[in-house]
Chain A
Amino acid sequence: MVDKLARIVTEELNVWYGAHQALKSISLKVEANEILGIIGPANSGKSTFLQVLNRLIDLKPQTRVSGRILIDNQEIFGANIDVEALRRKIGMIFALPIPLPMSIFDNIAYGPRRNGIKKKSMLEEIVEESLKAAYLWDEVKDRLSDSGLNLSGGQQQRLCIARTLALKPEVILFDEPCSGLDPVSTGKVEEAMLELKKNYTLVLVTNNTKQASRVADRTAFFLMGELIEINNTQEMFTVPRDKRTEDYISGRFG
């Protein structure tokens, strides 16, 4: 089998919060245009893993990171890395939808504006494109100047996706994006993810093993900071190699 282009490679990645080790020598690859699902019980290090990838972990006090993370062959903890450019390249969707307290338009134009795009026509174009890609355009096109806070939960989450798409990222990280949503909204977000895969590489952290089995191409199982198993989703859910994976996906703990 020919190795696909690996977008993200982590080698022996360790993360400590103070004395507590949250990730223990994680080595894995995320391939281009796949959805990598990451499952595992609470506090298994899944969200930490996402936060290292776009260096949001820098915000947390007293953290220490060792090992290497290569994104398109560039070491992201290396010297002279433009963290802001990195975060534009690796977008992030949070567990709870957090619209900034401003209009729908301004929410989506936020990233491009900070990157120096000032022209109104250009911003309008980006906003429309992003909203369409997140399946929100039809619902909000007549009220772009409304506050983003006035949208429903599902709409807010799609707004957040659109906001990330406006950065024209290459990788999108989803941190339990449906944990606060009802089944219908969850379905819409999942649909959007499957569509996004055509143009982006996605990493999806989820508490919901069923969700991983529905959308992920490959799935990784994290437990207490360790990577227990990574495999094709179908294989992992039918014939898990590790006993602990089997226990987890069959709901025996977690």
Chain B
Amino acid sequence: MLKKRWNHKKIFEWGIEGLIKLSGIVSIILVGLIFIFLLKEGISVFKIVNPINFILGKEWHPVSKPPDFGILSLILGSFAVTLGAAIIALPLGVTSAIFIAEVTTGKTKEMLKIGIEFLAAIPSVVIGFVGIVVLAPVIQKVFDLPTGLTVLTGSIMLSIMAMPTIVSISEDAITAVPKRYREAALALGATRWQTIWRVVLPSASGGIVAACMLGIGRVIGETMAVMMVTGNAPRIPHSLLEPARTLTSTIAAEMGETVQGSEHYFALFAIGIVLFIITFVINFTADLFLHKEKV
């Protein structure tokens, strides 16, 4: 009587559980597919230029004859913009997270969190647009430059975009610190700030580091805003007030003009490989930090 019999209900459920299990591994398949397709399209460029010269070559002239495929200036462009954005966003983001998590309560806290969520939602192209029409003229005037589209402009706009990631993940990490730690410290007569500084922040440090890394990852991968406001000059920038060009904006700006299967096309996919590896390493490390804390 208790023996299992196959009927249409059991067969249906067997099928649907199969689908569920398949969907479970779909994300692994996708990450694999992304890497495979980047490799498939990008690897051919290394027949023309060896990987070391590709990374360390200073000249990027993809359409001249013969072409130069060196992405060092693009890497440094990305690095400069990211560094600038990090210098602005990390301190502001982490302190805001501390303030929101530990100091504010009730309505104020709600409002601030909604604000951060709205900021996260603003499309990158809108940020870029505001950068062009509002910030760039100001930068141009203040520093008396030929153009307002500079590394600095990019860094400022990107710091705005990195903020939500940094704030929300840090805030989660801080809020996750068990209440009894705080109560113990307060019971010993520490002020709230002493408690935050000596007890809460050290226990949340793993999460905060992860938040900062993910924020930086977001900046490196960001495309539209940075393409619109950094001026797109494929040269190594020597100051924050010069235009530069990043890895992402190179792909976005040039892919439209390439012929499928051309050397230039392969080279842009190869840049994609570099970007994929960078973000993979950042996310992987950030995850280690997040994980460490939970154990």
A–B proximity contact (CB within 8 A): yes
Pick from A75-83, A145-153, A193-201, A228-236 the stretch touching chain B.
A75-83
Find out whether the CB atom of A82 lies under 8 angstroms from the CB atom of B9.
no
Residues from chain B with a CB closer than 8 A to the CB of A85 are 1-2
Does B21 sit at the interface, judged by CB under 8 A?
no
Contact code string B1-14 (vs A, CB < 8 Å = 1, else 0) = 11111000100000
Find out whether the CB atom of A86 lies under 8 angstroms from the CB atom of B2.
yes
A148 to chain B, nearest CB (A): 26
Find out whether the CB atom of B2 lies under 8 angstroms from the CB atom of A81.
yes
Does A66 sit at the interface, judged by CB under 8 A?
no
Find out whether the CB atom of A74 lies under 8 angstroms from the CB atom of B9.
no
Does A168 sit at the interface, judged by CB under 8 A?
no
The DSSP consensus for interface residues of chain B is loop
Does A89 sit at the interface, judged by CB under 8 A?
yes
Residues from chain A with a CB closer than 8 A to the CB of B3 are 80-82
Find out whether the CB atom of B1 lies under 8 angstroms from the CB atom of A80.
no
CA A86 to CA B5, docked complex, whole Å: 13
Select from chain A the residue with minimum beta-carbon distance to B3.
A80
B9: which of A72, A76, A89, A116 is its contact (CB, 8 Å)?
Answer: A116
A197 to chain B, nearest CB (A): 23
A59 to chain B, nearest CB (A): 16
Within 8 A of B (CB), among A41-71: 71
Select from chain B the residue with minimum beta-carbon distance to A72.
B1
A32 to chain B, nearest CB (A): 16
CA A89 to CA B5, docked complex, whole Å: 16
Within 8 A of A (CB), among B6-54: 9
B10 to chain A, nearest CB (A): 9
Residues from chain A with a CB closer than 8 A to the CB of B5 are 82
What 8 pairs across the A-B complex have the smallest Cβ distances?
A82-B4, A80-B4, A74-B2, A85-B2, A81-B2, A86-B2, A82-B2, A80-B3
Contact code string B252-284 (vs A, CB < 8 Å = 1, else 0) = 000000000000000000000000000000000
CA A85 to CA B9, docked complex, whole Å: 13
CA A67 to CA B127, docked complex, whole Å: 67
CA A76 to CA B3, docked complex, whole Å: 10
Given contacts A82-B3, A89-B1, 16 further A-B pairs with CB under 8 A are A71-B2, A72-B1, A74-B1, A74-B2, A80-B3, A80-B4, A81-B2, A81-B3, A81-B4, A82-B2, A82-B4, A82-B5, A85-B1, A85-B2, A86-B2, A89-B2
B12 to chain A, nearest CB (A): 12
B3 to chain A, nearest CB (A): 6
CA A252 to CA B5, docked complex, whole Å: 51
CA A86 to CA B2, docked complex, whole Å: 6
A250 to chain B, nearest CB (A): 38
CA A86 to CA B4, docked complex, whole Å: 10
Residues from chain A with a CB closer than 8 A to the CB of B2 are 71, 74, 76, 81-82, 85-86, 89
